Amino acid sequence: MRLLRHLFPPSAGRLFPAESLQRIADAIHEGEQRHTGEVMFAVESDLPVLAVLRGVDARTRAHEAFARLRTWDTEANNGVLIYLLLADHRIEIVADRGLRERVSEAQWRGVCQLMEDHLRAGEGEAAVVRGIAAVSDLLAGFYPQDGSRPDEDELPNQPHIF
């Protein structure tokens, strides 16, 4: 069944047209005005057939995307990747080591649940924008933007479609 979902996946481009991607980038920018962390969003329609046959799951793929996008490449080690694998209906959040001891797995799961609720309702853009806001709330609690120095955008805000 999983293989079929990856052979005939929903289209990331259809769920997130250019206008939606821009609004998601704007939501990342707005959220980052409240904290010094870095948030990235990546969506993938499906995995290659060989990856599915090898049993690669969304969590593994999210970690690969985290590395490929260099989400870890921030001064304070406070980058966060929100990853969506459409074929598996999975959302994964990968946070850099500066957040591991600060944000619990239950808190990250809560963000995923919020997003899943909106995705089930067919609200792809709203799901991502609300997820970004929730991640930004968590980051603002640990890495607030105090205005003492200008916020440096260390990572691109533009969403990534694989």
pLDDT digits (tens, 9 = 90+) for 106-151: 999 999 999 999 998 989 999 999 999 999 999 999 999 887 766 7
pLDDT digits (tens, 9 = 90+) for 25-37: 999 999 999 999 9
- pTM equals 0.94
- Which of 123, 101, 87, 111 has its CA nearest to residue 39? 111
What domains are defined for the chain?
2-144+152-161 (3.10.310.50)
Alpha-carbon gap, residue 76 to 27, rounded angstroms: 21
Alpha-carbon gap, residue 118 to 128, rounded angstroms: 9
